[in-house]
Amino acid sequence: MIIRIDEYSDVPIYMQIRNQIVMGISSGELKAGEQLPTVRALALEIGINTMTVSKTYQMLKNEGYIMTDRKNGARVRENIAQSGVISEDNKTELRRIVSEARLSGVPKAELKKLIDEFY
Amino acid sequence: MIIRIDEYSDVPIYMQIRNQIVMGISSGELKAGEQLPTVRALALEIGINTMTVSKTYQMLKNEGYIMTDRKNGARVRENIAQSGVISEDNKTELRRIVSEARLSGVPKAELKKLIDEFY
Amino acid sequence: MIIRIDEYSDVPIYMQIRNQIVMGISSGELKAGEQLPTVRALALEIGINTMTVSKTYQMLKNEGYIMTDRKNGARVRENIAQSGVISEDNKTELRRIVSEARLSGVPKAELKKLIDEFY
Amino acid sequence: MIIRIDEYSDVPIYMQIRNQIVMGISSGELKAGEQLPTVRALALEIGINTMTVSKTYQMLKNEGYIMTDRKNGARVRENIAQSGVISEDNKTELRRIVSEARLSGVPKAELKKLIDEFY
DNA sequence: GTGGTCTAGACCACG
DNA sequence: GTGGTCTAGACCACG
């Protein structure tokens, strides 16, 4: 899986990587149990510091998306906990996006099509 | 319209206010041509620095949501430009939200229901 | 409140600080809404790097014990969320401690007295 | 006695095994003088490196919980030394757990009930 | 002035 | 070899 960093983005690098890995797991590009690159390998590949990648992995681990052990590196978790609900933050963020889209004249159907595409 | 600041949020205050005004315009709570409170009044009401509100208004003006003149203060624009498309940032953000919701076991229909609710 | 670091401990420095702050909040030494030292001040006082203190504050923030904002620094939260239950990790850890104490010949009453003292 | 490894835990494997054996001795599941599986057998059963189990046994021996000899392998010690006191580390750890439980709204009686259960 | 992010480098425990 | 921790230093956005 290829990680792309937008260096001009307001989103911190460690968060950009985190988001792309989460989307990769959801889309199936990263499968349950699949090995992630080592902290050093990913840092080298992207051209950033190992600390930054390390921060990403620790975040993903805390969120329950991946597991890390010192022997095998990081792997996608087999059993990701399912709360069944959308977080309040994501709900608010979704509302903001829908509002902006509506004001831009984007039809509701267009948004639902994106849901179908991304889900 | 009542603006609520979440002091525990990572979202900067000026952005929280901006988002709530945009959502207010989209929902119709703030109507086209409607007068917004002065920078001073809003800052006093929320209990924050006037510089912060000023930053919000400047942003909303740049984005084309409001217009300001020295005599009348700030007002919701009558004719907000409609690009007809969702910004790339919002598209990426929507994809992230959908991915997280999916991994949390939230059904697709639930997301579409929220679109209906927020649109 | 005085933070003491045991440099020979296996517990990472950022975690030692975190634990002492949590215990300080529980004991009432740190009151709700009380200001914590700035990242830089605490780092200087303890003689460690600001990054390490920063890691502590971010952890405490994620756990809901404190709040940080760029203007005012860090403060103890007024309303700490109460799950009402002991985490599985803490339960396991408590069991380990009780087992070791029992094998050392420490009477059960002694442990309960410590609960009274620490609660 | 069945040893279970939590691969998602931050606690090192050798320590997880060590803790479970100590708890097994305390609970009586492992009796004084009882034979422990060989390093090789236990490593095979859990599916880990023999070095890891070896590290565990060495630790338990140093702590005085088990004894080893070349002929009979490892056995639970008949006369485990009783200091009569809780170690400083365990006391600090207990205080941390009690503090977190208290802040989570867990009543003191609940903690004492767990002491009764685990002792 | 404040916390947040990032770098370049180092050392460590685990396995 | 792996992730985890820590340092010394820097720059940034927020307010």
DSSP chain D: ------TT-SS-HHHHHHHHHHHHHHHTSS-TTPBPPPHHHHHHHHTS-HHHHHHHHHHHHHTTSEEEETTTEEEE-SS-----S--HHHHHHHHHHHHHHHHTT--HHHHHHHHHHH-
Q: Are residues A106 and A59 in the same domain?
A: no
Q: Is residue A113 part of a domain?
A: yes
Domain range holding D28? 13-76
- Note whether A31 contacts B: Cβ–Cβ < 8 A: no
Q: Decide: D36 and D66 in contact? Cβ < 8 Å.
A: yes
Q: Is residue B51 part of a domain?
A: yes
Q: Are residues A38 and A67 in the same domain?
A: yes
The arithmetic mean of pLDDT across residues A34-58, rounded, is 97
Q: Are residues B17 and B70 in the same domain?
A: yes
Give the pLDDT confidence score for residue D72 in this predicted structure: 77
The arithmetic mean of pLDDT across residues D43-69, rounded, is 95
Q: Are residues A67 and A97 in the same domain?
A: no
Separation between Cα atoms, residue B68 and residue B45, nearest integer Å: 20
Q: Is residue C6 part of a domain?
A: no
Spans in chain B with pLDDT lower than 50: none
Give the pLDDT confidence score for residue B9 in this predicted structure: 93
Residue with tokens 């490196």: D49
- The count of CB pairs under 8 A between chains A and D is 4
Q: Is residue C108 part of a domain?
A: yes
**CATH at residue B71:** 1.10.10.10
Q: Is residue B110 part of a domain?
A: yes
The residue of chain C with its CA nearest to that of D83 is C104
Name the domain count of chain D.
2
Quickly state the pLDDT bin for A69 (edges 50, 70, 90): confident
- pLDDT of D53 above 90: yes
Q: Decide: C105 and C97 in contact? Cβ < 8 Å.
A: no
The arithmetic mean of pLDDT across residues C27-39, rounded, is 96
Q: Is residue B7 part of a domain?
A: no
Separation between the CA of D111 and the C1’ of E13 (whole angstroms): 33
Q: What percent of chain D has pLDDT over 70?
A: 100
pTM, two decimals, is: 0.94
- Note whether B7 contacts C: Cβ–Cβ < 8 A: yes
The arithmetic mean of pLDDT across residues C85-103, rounded, is 98
- Which residue has the least CA–C1' distance to nucleotide F15? C71
Q: Is residue D36 part of a domain?
A: yes
